[in-house]
A = this chain, B = another copy of it.
Amino acid sequence: MTTIGIVGLGLIGGSLGLDLRSRGFQVYGVSRQERTCRIAVEKGIADEAGLSLELLALADIIFICTPIAAIAPTLKQLIPYLSPETIVTDVGSVKTPIVQECSQLWDYFIGSHPMAGTAEQGVEAAQKDLFVNAAYVLTPIETTPTIATQKVEEIAQLLGSKTYTCSPEQHDRAVAWISHLPVMVSAALIDACTSETDARVLELAQQLASSGFRDTSRVGGGNPELGVMMAQYNQENLLRSLSQYRERLDRLIEYIDREDWDKLNNVLESASRSRSDFLS
C-alpha cells in the first residue's frame, strides 16, 4: 500500500489529504503549526500530523504543498529522512525555477501543478473532490525517472483530475497567458476605474457596476501575495505576455480612435470565436 506524505496542510495540501485518505491511502501530514496539525487530524485530512518532517520517513510519495518560496528549502530539509526512491512532487503554480532547483536536489523529484483552488485559504478551506475535472499538469524533465511521473499521474487520475504532461517551460508560458496575464489585466482595470476624478461619476460607476465589471475584475481583486508571487517566479513569460497584450490593446485603441469600425468588429468577432477554444 502506498503511503503518502504531505508538507503544508492548507487548501491544496489539506484537500489532497481528504481525497487520498478516502481512497484508502495512509496519509502523514506536516505543518509548521500545531493548531493546523490538530485540525488536519480532526477533519480526516491525515492519519497523523505533526511539526517534524521526520514523520514522513515512511512515505512513498511526498507532496510539498507550501508556498513557492518554501518548496526547495523544504525539500532540502526533507532529504535526510527520505529513502533513495521516495518520490517527491510539489503543487506550485510556476514550474521552471522549482524544477531546476529541486531536480538537482533529488533524483526522484517530479514537478506538478494541480490547477484547482477556491478564494479561501488554509486548512479550514480544505474540501473533498477539489481536484475533480481540474487540470493536473506534470512537468518531467529528461532526467526524471519514468516511475515518478507515472506514480503521480496515477494519483492525479484517482483524484478525478485531467492530467497533462509538458516541459516546465511550456507550462510556465501557457499559464502566463491564461492565469497570470488575466490577473494583471484585471487589476489594471480596477486601478484605472478608481482614477476617475469626477466624484459623481466615480460614485455612479461604483453604483452601476454589475456582472460585466464583477467578472472582468475578479482575478485582479484577488490575493495580492499570489499576484506578486506569479510575477516574481514567472517574470519573463509574464512580461512577454503583457507586451503582446499591450500591442493588441493599442491596436484596438487605434481602431476606435480612427473610427475603423470594420476592423474593430473583426477583432471582436475573432475574440468571440476564439474564446470557445479556451473553454472546451
Contacts and interface: CB of A to CB of B under 8 A. Distances in A.
A201 interface: yes
A277 interface: yes
Nearest to A243: B253
A178 B228 contact: no
Contacts of A245: 188-189, 192, 249
Interface string A217-245: 11111111101100110010011011111
A151 to B, nearest CB: 22
A118 to B, nearest CB: 10
Contacts of A188: 185, 245, 248-249, 252
Given A222-B272, A256-B231, A181 B193 contact: yes
A50 interface: no
Interface in A197-228: 198, 200-201, 204-210, 212-225, 227-228
Interface of A: 115, 134-135, 137, 164, 166, 170-171, 173-175, 177-179, 181-196, 198, 200-201, 204-210, 212-225, 227-228, 231-232, 235, 238-239, 241-250, 252-253, 256-257, 259, 261, 264-265, 267-272, 274-280
Closest 4 CB pairs of A and B: A221-B275, A224-B268, A174-B204, A182-B216
